[in-house]
Structure 1
Amino acid sequence: MSVYGKVVVLGTGIMGTALAGRLLGQGENVTVWNRTPERAASLAAAGATVAATPAEAVTGADVVLLTLFDADAVIGVLKEAADATPAGATWVQMSTIGIEGTDTVAAVAREHGLTLVESMMLGTKGPAEQGTLVLLTGGDADRLTAIDPLLALVSQKRVYAGPQVGAGSRLKLVCNTWIALLTAGTGQAFAMLRALGLDPKLFLDAIAGGQSDSVYAHVKGDLMIADDYQPANFQLRGLHKDLELAEDATGDDGKFPILDALRGLYAKAEEQGQGREDIAAVYRVLP
């Protein structure tokens, strides 16, 4: 049974499809739109209504979830659909578009009289499908409370970052930089073990159950040991993009040397053709 009326998902890439599928599975009334309609075919088969345009999609909507690739795509959809949006609808910005992009999107929403909050996704396709994402929210607290029953269907936890749309985006850049660091650190440990003539599994055995243990190190480490990164749980090119956004947000002036090093490492991996593989593939570019 529907918790929150008509829910619209604009953008059915990996995460948009996972979110829409999860909501359909929970009995929600879901309408989707994608610039390439064929990518919404599986959702149509699962019971979603597929709209031909963003304006058609948001007509009569209660909540609109934005899961698009970049700021330009979000801005274009906002402008195209604004006049068709009901007065009481809530737009939820969930695309990773950086600080500058988020500020521009928020300004466009205000210009068109749209109510916009953000709910950034910390997690990948699997957690989205299972409803176990962590959502990093920002914007009007009352509006976020009003749609919390819907957000709870796709997440295990919501972390409120502050009243400004953009606070959640800032927190996500920090969290994804940490994920990049954990993955690269695990890869470096394995590279060192290889250089020192030791079995890579010894590292995971050594940290298991101790204060330095990390579930994430085991997950990515197992992929590195297997040297098989498909299918990608978190594509390397996506994390590289996030590191670029983090660099833009903090300033490219050497203030954060570890971030600078990570950005260079993931850029090298993408240049060598690892972009569509799991982020564990960063291990391949280490000596």
Structure 2
Amino acid sequence: MRVTVLGTGAMGAGVAGSLLREGHDVTVWNRSAQRAQPLGEQGATVATSPADAVASAQVVLLTLFDIDAVLEVLGQAADAAPESAIWVQSSTIGLEGTERVVRVAAEHGITLVEAMMLGTKGPAEQGKLTMLAAGPEEFVDRVRPVLEAISVKIVVAGDAVGAGTALKLAANAWIASITAATAQSLTLTSALGLDPDLFLQAIDGSASDSQYAHTKGAAMIADRFDPQFALDGLRKDIGLMVDAANESGVSTTLLDALVAVYGQASAAGHGGDDIAAVVTGFRPQGAAD
């Protein structure tokens, strides 16, 4: 299929690469053009504007950072794509942001579904994401070849755009929580005079075990924070979770704690690092990062 990827950050670039590997005809655009150039070397067409990028697309993927970027790009490209194109909103923009995109899509006669990406840079590059899709069944089915090329699993959250976003916020709340909990336990183990790896050994194979704890825990112990999921990106998502919780009447007690500890790690200069750097927010004052 002719697929356009608007936004080639860590996730968008990985997705575009996976689509190319699976034989799709891929066009890419990114605000910082140099970030899209490596995809051109892999066989993608690198467009100079969002409008040019969507001109012949069958499927348009929006893989941008936030609602402001999504609305800006929609404004530039909405009327340039074929009427038959299906737009797939894959940016984490929260419930209110998604409602705004739905309204803009309707104003421009755009066929819109969503497919939120659950995973990080590595799975995006490997075509091993979990996609959280939502929208009319007919249109979700039409973009399945694209979603299957970048994922190992597709979960259909509902037939209305917004259901995928709701599920993504809940899933990312789990990711934020388990990462911070791993950091807390490792730091406490170390502060009490033990090798922090003993914590990972203790949970290994137990009912409370998690492969994610081992993956992120190993990075925390080694102080290795090469970004797979940037900490400031998750901070942005946690803010969207807080908004959703407040709107639905759910307590934000745990989310507020996550805001604080991820914020502390960001303030210490780790905003561009992997979310494993949240461990720096738990370390005793004066401890080296």
Say whether the fold is shared (TM-score over 0.5): yes
Q: SS of the counterpart of 1:251?
A: helix
When structure 1 is superposed on structure 2, of 70-79 and 240-249 the one drifting more is 70-79
Cα separation, 1, equivalents of 2:222 and 2:84? 51
* Residue identity matched to 1:184: A
* Residue identity matched to 1:138: A
Residue 122 (structure 2) pairs with residue 126 (structure 1): yes
Cα separation, 2, equivalents of 1:95 and 1:82? 16
Residue 166 (structure 2) pairs with residue 170 (structure 1): yes
Consecutive unaligned residues in structure 1, runs of 5 or more: none
Cα separation, 2, equivalents of 1:7 and 1:150? 8
Residue 66 (structure 2) pairs with residue 53 (structure 1): no
Q: SS of the counterpart of 1:104?
A: helix
TM-score, normalised by the number of residues in structure 2: 0.94
Spell out, residue by residue over 1:179-205, the C-alpha distance to the aligned partner (whole angstroms, 9 max, x if none): 111111111111211222111111111
Aligned to 1:179: 175
Q: SS of the counterpart of 2:149?
A: coil
Residue 234 (structure 2) pairs with residue 239 (structure 1): yes
Spell out, residue by residue over 1:145-165, the C-alpha distance to the aligned partner (whole angstroms, 9 max, x if none): 121122101000011111121
Cα separation, 2, equivalents of 1:53 and 1:277? 29
Residue 264 (structure 2) pairs with residue 268 (structure 1): yes
Spell out, residue by residue over 1:223-260, the C-alpha distance to the aligned partner (whole angstroms, 9 max, x if none): 1111221x211111111111011011111888221111
* Residue identity matched to 1:237: D
Cα separation, 2, equivalents of 1:118 and 1:284? 35
Q: RMSD of the alignment, in Å? A: 1.3
Superposed, 1:20-169 pairs within 5 Å as 20-169=16-165
Q: SS of the counterpart of 2:113?
A: strand
Spell out, residue by residue over 1:54-94, the C-alpha distance to the aligned partner (whole angstroms, 9 max, x if none): 11111121000001111121112222212221111100001
Instruction: Calculate percent identity across the aligned residue pairs.
Output: 55
TM-score, normalised by the number of residues in structure 1: 0.95
Q: Is the 8 A contact 1:94 1:121 kept in 2?
A: yes
C-alpha change, 1:151 and 1:254, in structure 2 (3 Å) is: closer
Q: SS of the counterpart of 1:84?
A: coil
Number of equivalences? 282
Q: SS of the counterpart of 1:83?
A: coil
C-alpha change, 1:181 and 1:49, in structure 2 (3 Å) is: same
Cα separation, 1, equivalents of 2:279 and 2:49? 42
Aligned to 1:227: 223
Consecutive unaligned residues in structure 2, runs of 5 or more: 285-289
* Cα shift at 1:123: 0.3
* Cα shift at 1:37: 1.4
Q: Is the 8 A contact 1:254 1:260 kept in 2?
A: no
